[in-house]
Structure formats: C-alpha cells, structure tokens
A and B are shown apart, each in its own frame.
Chain A
Amino acid sequence: MNALRNAVRQGLRRGWTEFEQSLRSPQDQAFYVFTALITLSVLWVNRDDEVGDTGLMYPTFALPSILGALLTFGVVIGPAYSLAMEREDGTLLRHKALPQGMPGYVTGQLTYHSLSLVPSLLVVLVPSLLLFDGVMHGGVAGWVTVVGLIVLGLFATLPWGIVLGSVVPGVQKVGTWGMLPVLVLITISGIFVPVQTMWGWVQAVAQVFPVYWIGLGMRSAFLPPEAVTAELGDSWRTGPMVLVLLAWTVAGLLLAPRVLRRMARRQSGSDVEAAREAALQWIK
C-alpha cells in the first residue's frame, strides 16, 4: 500500500466527514441562511431597477457577479480561518504526529472547502432562479461555462486561502489580514456596481486580482450577448480572463505548499498551549 496515496484517501475521507458534519451543524446552517437572506434581500429590493441602458434588471446583472464574490470569499476566508484555528487548537499538530499526516490534512482542507462551495452558492442561486425572471440567458452552454468557471476560480483562489491561513499570526487576525482586503477587492471589482464607476487607478488595481475576472466570466455565462456593452472595452475578454486566473493558480500552487510547510515545521505543542492561554485570557 502506497503511504502517500493512502494519506490522500484519508484526506478525502476527512474532507467529506467535515462537510457532512458542517451540513448537520446548526451554526453552519445559520451561516448559509444568513448569507442567502442578505444577498436575496439586496437583489429583491432592487428587483425593478434597470442597470444603465442595458435593459437588464438589477438581479440579473448582479447575481453572476455575486456568485463570483461568494466563491472568492468562501474559498479564501474559509481555509484561512480553518488553518489559523486548527493551528491553535491542535488539529494540525495531531496530523504532524501522524505518518503522512500533512498531505492528509491538506487534502482534507481542499476537499472540505471545495465541497462547502456547493451549498454556499446553491442557497443564493436556487432561490434567485425561483424569485427572478431571466437570470440565465446562456442556456445549457451557459451552465457548463459556470461550472467550468467555478472550478477555475477555485484553483485560482483556494491556494491563496491556504497561504493566508499559514501566514496569519492568529485567528483574531484573520479579519484584518483576510476579510478586510477581500471585502475591499470585492467592492472595487464590479460586483455590486459596474467597475467603470470607479476611478481609473482603482479599475487598474481591480483587474490585477481574480475577483474581477471571476465576476466578468460569470456575467459572460449568465447575461445575454448585448450586455457586453456594459463591460470595459465592450468585450467579455474570455482569453485574458482565463490567462489571469491561470496565472493566479500557478502562483498560488507554487507558493502555498512552501508557506504551508514552513508554518507546519514551526508548529509545536507549546504554541497550542500558548494559544490556549491567550484564549483563556480573552474569556476572562
């Protein structure tokens, strides 16, 4: 039996178990319901607003971009938070003490956060399809593009969640190191308002990061062809979109294992103990 392959199998099993447990947990269910309610309320309140002169209603225009933002947020902040948390609570250390434990652990993380994406997108997508008319203009080809784009977006962003979780000094810092920058990026990336309404340099910054491109790709899949006039350069820029996301994927896959290994090497029981002491201080 190959030990590494066995560990990867263990990781898949771990990811699935965590996913199942998450679906059954009232805490996580509440989180899904909360995200869905907020998003759907925003769309519902603006349901009769036309976006610019595209002839599109706000929910139709915004939903694809919001799905892209949910994806980015979920697979960057999710792993970042898990990693920071599980470094402090000893989960990581337990895996360090196992033969081939780290490959198993990382596989578990990747599996769990990829699977979690499904419910977090579905809770927004399914009610939207029921509540609003003309959400998907692309037909079957559109759905296939959406699935492909989700996979590509996952590869482009998930490794960065791992990087973030490895470098962040503690759980309390995930907010300022992770949540804040990601939310700022989402705000400037044309998710809620078209990117053209931003200053020129902000548009340039937005186009460096994957959030903008995932949103753009999503719009290209959902919206009718004539909506392209609302985009920069009147183009879906599918080629550049794929290239930018691939570039982020490659960079992430190169960096994440190194950062992760460095973090895991430095992890010891004393760190877990120190985190515990710190947490007890917080409670007091």
Chain B
Amino acid sequence: MTATPVPHDPDGSLAVRVRDLRMNYGDHEVLTGVDFDVRLGEVVCLLGPNGAGKTTTIEVLEGFRLPSAGTVEVLGVDPATGDDAWRARVGVVLQSWRDHPRWTPRRLLRYLAGYYAPYSTPTHPRPWDVEELLATVGLVAEADRKIATLSGGRRRRLDVAVGLIGRPELLFLDEPTAGFDPQARRDFHDLVHRLSDLEGTSILLTTHDLGEAERLADRILILADGHIVADGSAEALTRQVAGTSEVRWCRDGERFVHATDEVVPFVRRLLAQHGDALTDLEVRRSSLEDTYIALVQRFESASPAGRHLAEVAR
C-alpha cells in the first residue's frame, strides 16, 4: 500500500488532522464527530472522563482501529493505509502489562531499535542510541534486570523508551504517567519538554491529571459526550468557560464568599467599605479543574443548551 498525500494541508504544517471522526460499536456511538488538529511541534493534551472515547481516538490515529466514518490524517497519511515508512515516523507508547518478562530493558530496546535502521536518513537518523535513551528515561540502573522484576513506574519508563526508540516525529501517549510517583512524574514532564523543545517532536497525550495537562500542553482538548467540547490553552479555557474568581474574607469573625468576574473593582470597594474590619482576604482564581468539571457536567447531560457552549468555547 502506498501513502496518500494530504490534499487539505498544502503547507504541511499539521501533524494530525481529524474531521468528523465517528465511531460506533453496534448501536452505541462512542465518537459522534470529533474535529481537531495537532500542529507540527505542538504538545496537545486530550482530556475527558472515562468512556468518553479518548483511547478510541488515539487508537484510530495509531492505525490500530478503523473509524466508522470521518477523515483522519496523521503526518499527512490516513493511518488505515499507512505503510511501514509512515509507521517508522510515528511513536506509540503502549500500556504494557507483562510482555517480555524474561528480557532486559537493554536487550529489548536493542532488538526493537533494529527495526528502524532501514528508515534512517541523513537529516533524521534512526534509531535512538540505546544507551543514550536508557539514560534519558532514567533506566540505566535497571538496564540489565529482567523486565518482570521492574516496578510499575520503571516499566512505564520502559514503555516510554520503546515509544521513542525510532526517534518519532509524532508521539502518541495514552495515560503515560498512570502509576508514577511524584518524582517519576516530574522526570517524565522534563522528558516531554525536552522532546518537544530539542527534537521538535509533536506529541498527543491523554491524561486524567489536570495539573499534568496544564504543565505540559500547548493546547488542551476536552472530549466529552463523543466530541471535542473545548479546545484551547489552559489559560484560555479557564477564562472562557469559568471566568469567575472567588473572593473570601472575614469581618467581625464572620466568613463571607463572593464570586465575581471583576476581582479588582470588587476588592477595592470591599476595602473602601470595611477598611480595618476586614481580615483574611483571599482571592482564588478558578482553576483548570473547575473548568473541566463544569464543562464535562454540562456536556454529559447532553442538553441542547450544553451543546451550544461548544461554539463559545472554541
């Protein structure tokens, strides 16, 4: 099979292009029309409640699952017809479980690396040097231990290394930090930043950790009710969807809370009115989490009014 060139992305600036992606399992519609892009070099985070279709979406992009309908282009190619040269440019981080128990990380990575050698070019040498990669993901100490004896966190590092071994131009990660301890999580975030900054790798990842999404992503997509209900930077989403902040204060031992869009004028009035009687003044900006919860609740109920907000959020 030969790769089909993209007709809709003439300047070739998109790593991923998804239009009206639909997926049915029998009568059940998991994806009801997903649209989004990932630009080259961008880190995009796909958020959404369990069962929203995040994994299905990623699997379609990886070419592991055929969509019921819609247009999908990954590095300019329909994943369903992507050939091996295309495959070599895409990295997939899989949730491993107990595969290759008798292998060691070094042996496994050397073996997998061997598949990429024919796809090396002077401008983009492949595969990644195994020793360097082991150091990058922090697996040097465990490089010669049997994989069966690795802890969950170490195993995930190995998964990430396997996804990276071919020096992909685009990397898919499905819940990469599930089961990571805080240190491992921070190391992983550094790794993602390095990949994005130094290698220019485009990255699409799913996560449940909103803090992670905020820290890593150039752009966040929220998938709920089978389609993308919000698309923007963490800041933009927070502003657009739950633009209110909360002001809390104490006066004469009594607590007050007030939600407002205009924090500064409100606080100025508050101070002018009560002066020294005011204690414990606190302003809390709504977080990505508030935004996320608000959005998902609205769309899970799937009311027409809720759907209308999708347009606002875009």
Chain A residues with a Cβ under 8 A of chain B: 1-3, 6-7, 9-10, 13-14, 17-18, 21-22, 25, 86, 89-91, 93-94, 96-101, 104, 267-270, 272-273, 275-276
Contact = CB atoms under 8 A, between A and B. Distances in A.
B89 to A, nearest CB: 9
Interface residues of B, number: 34
Interface string B80-112: 000011011010101111111011000100011
A17 B65 CA distance: 31
Contact of A1 (B100, B117, B162): B117
A17 B103 contact: yes
Contacts of A276: 97
A13 B55 CA distance: 33
B115 A272 contact: no
B37 interface: no
A33 B118 CA distance: 42
A93 B174 CA distance: 14
Interface of B: 55-56, 58-59, 62, 64-65, 84-85, 87-88, 90, 92, 94-100, 102-103, 107, 111-112, 114-119, 162, 166, 174
Contacts, number: 93
Given A89-B98, A99-B87, A269 B115 contact: no
Chain A: interface secondary structure?
helix
B106 to A, nearest CB: 12
A268 B65 contact: yes
Contacts of B117: 1, 6
Contact of B115 (A6, A17, A93): A6
A121 B179 CA distance: 44
Given A268-B65, A273-B95, A14 B111 contact: yes
Given A25-B102, A269-B55, A270-B55, A99 B62 contact: no
Given A13-B111, A270-B55, A6 B118 contact: yes
Contacts of B112: 94, 98
A97 B97 CA distance: 16
Nearest to A2: B118
A93 B166 CA distance: 16
Contacts of A9: 114
Contact of A3 (B84, B111, B166): B84
Of A14, A90, A267, the most chain B CB neighbours within 10 A belong to A90
Nearest to B65: A268
A261 to B, nearest CB: 13
A13 B99 CA distance: 17
Nearest to A14: B111
Contacts of A98: 87, 112, 115-116, 166
Contact of B111 (A17, A90, A100): A17
A233 B227 CA distance: 72
A267 B92 CA distance: 14
A1 B118 contact: yes
Nearest to A3: B118
Nearest to B88: A99
Contacts of A18: 102
A101 B59 CA distance: 17
Contacts of A91: 99-100
A89 B148 CA distance: 12
Contacts of A104: 115
A276 B152 CA distance: 14
Given A10-B111, A96-B64, A99-B88, 13 more contacts: A3-B84, A6-B114, A6-B118, A89-B97, A90-B96, A94-B94, A94-B112, A97-B90, A99-B85, A267-B64, A269-B62, A269-B174, A272-B97
A94 B99 contact: yes
A91 B159 CA distance: 12
Contact of A269 (B59, B103, B118): B59
7 contacts: A1-B117, A6-B117, A10-B111, A17-B111, A98-B87, A100-B115, A269-B94
B59 A89 contact: no
